[in-house]
């Protein structure tokens, strides 16, 4: 029988709390944007071009493909993105930002950055960078040597290619 852990030693607890806090902050920052914080993430994902079909974005963000549909409906309705037929695959739609979308994204980027720094205030600047980097590597499933370990990605979607 192992020693019972304290709650505040629980990774899940800390993750949940920090994520919830971040979500709460982001909600205010992006207020008015269709889809809230996730709407922002869609814009960001669509903007960096690597992934641009609906399904690719959905997988990257961890949302269901049916959810993606109405998320994009709203963003498109707001004039921030366009659905264009993919020339290489006529089933798929490429999501591209409109000029307004790019502008909005930049604006939100800046404000989110500020808000995040406030959120990370209890940590020293170097520690903030460390945290960002560690989380980024976990989220992308990249080991310290650059190897793709892909744990997190696996957990998120077994169907995801690794």
The answer to whether 63 and 70 are in contact (CB under 8 A) is no
Work out whether 5 is an interface residue with a copy of itself (CB under 8 A): yes
42 Rama class: left (phi>0) / alpha (psi -120 to 50) / beta: alpha
Q: Of 76, 78, 120, 160, which one interacts with a copy of itself (CB under 8 A)? A: 120
How many helices and strands, by DSSP H and E, does the chain display? 7, 2
Answer yes or no: are the C-beta atoms of 149 and 142 closer than 8 Å: yes
87 vs 161, beta carbon nearer a copy of itself = 161
Pick out residues in 9-68 that bind DNA (CB under 7 A): 53-56, 58, 63-68
Residue 96 interacts, among a copy of itself, DNA, none and using kind-specific CB cut-offs from 5 to 8 Å, with none
Least Å distance, CB 89 to DNA, is 4
CB atoms within 10 A of CB 142: 16
Instruction: Confirm or reject binding of residue 156 to DNA (CB under 7 A).
Output: no
SS3 3: coil
Contact positions toward DNA, by CB under 7 A? 53-56, 58, 63-69, 72-73, 83, 86, 89-93
């Amino acid at each position: 029988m192992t020693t019972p852990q304290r709650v505040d030693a629980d990774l899940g607890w800390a993750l949940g709390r920090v994520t919830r806090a971040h979500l709460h902050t982001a909600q205010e920052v992006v207020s008015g944007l269709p889809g809230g914080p996730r709407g922002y993430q869609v814009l960001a994902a669509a903007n960096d071009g690597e992934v641009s079909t609906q399904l690719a974005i959905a997988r990257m963000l961890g949302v269901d493909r049916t959810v993606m549909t109405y998320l994009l409906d709203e963003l498109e309705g707001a004039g921030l993105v366009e659905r264009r037929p993919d020339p290489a695959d006529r089933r798929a739609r490429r999501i591209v930002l409109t000029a307004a979308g790019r502008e909005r994204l930049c604006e939100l980027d800046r404000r989110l950055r500020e808000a995040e720094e406030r959120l990370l205030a209890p940590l020293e600047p170097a520690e903030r960078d460390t945290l960002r980097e560690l989380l980024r590597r976990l989220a992308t499933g990249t080991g310290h040597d650059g190897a793709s370990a892909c744990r997190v990605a696996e957990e998120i979607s077994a169907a995801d290619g690794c």
